[in-house]
Amino acid sequence: MPTFKHPCPYCDKFIDRAVAACPFCGQQDPFAPKRCQNCRKIIEDPAWVVCPGCGQSLLGPMVVNAVPGAAAGAPATPAASPATASSGGPASGVTVQPAPPPRPPLSADAAAPVLKSAGACSGCGAPLPAGARFCTICGTVAG
């Protein structure tokens, strides 16, 4: 017997009500009531900004430090690098190098290509690049 599909409360795509996760947006148990990420208390009103049970903010994702003993303001480190994740190796011993600082922008004269000139065209006076056999402006044979 076919079942009716319902819109996902997070992405509005029509899905079965018995799914464990929305196949479009990935939300776990999309039809379950919203819960606090810290104490799992049901959030009865979507306008609430803090959990009434524990006081945790409901506006953004809860920040959890991945490294035990790390400072509260320190950023969490990823568990594995892409090379380790694809090879299936253990994540222990993997060090993540910070990205190098950005390079300073080049000045206008440093960014311009260096062209050697073979002199000026005898017909129009335009500069000729090195090795030119004719002028690209007027067509006069260089020589």
CA distance 114 to 55: 64
pLDDT reported for residue 109: 56
Identify the burial level of 128 via C-beta atoms within 10 angstroms of its C-beta, where 0-12 means exposed, 13-18 middle and 19 or more buried.
Answer: buried
With H, G, I as helix, E, B as strand and everything else as coil, classify residue 110: helix
pLDDT reported for residue 127: 86
Name the residue type at position 89.
G
Taking 70 as the pLDDT cut, the residues of the chain under it are 1-2, 60-95, 106-118, 143
Nearest one of 132, 129, 133, 127 to 114, comparing CA atoms: 129
In a domain, 24, yes or no: yes
In a domain, 13, yes or no: yes
pLDDT reported for residue 13: 93
Number of domain units in the chain: 1
Where is 7: in which H helix or E strand?
A: strand 6-7
In a domain, 19, yes or no: yes
**Maximum separation of any 2 CA atoms in the chain, in Å:** 89
In a domain, 14, yes or no: yes
pLDDT reported for residue 85: 44
| In the block, residue with structure tokens 């990935």 | 26
In a domain, 48, yes or no: no
CA distance 7 to 16: 9
Domain that holds residue 5: 1-32
pLDDT reported for residue 91: 53
In a domain, 9, yes or no: yes
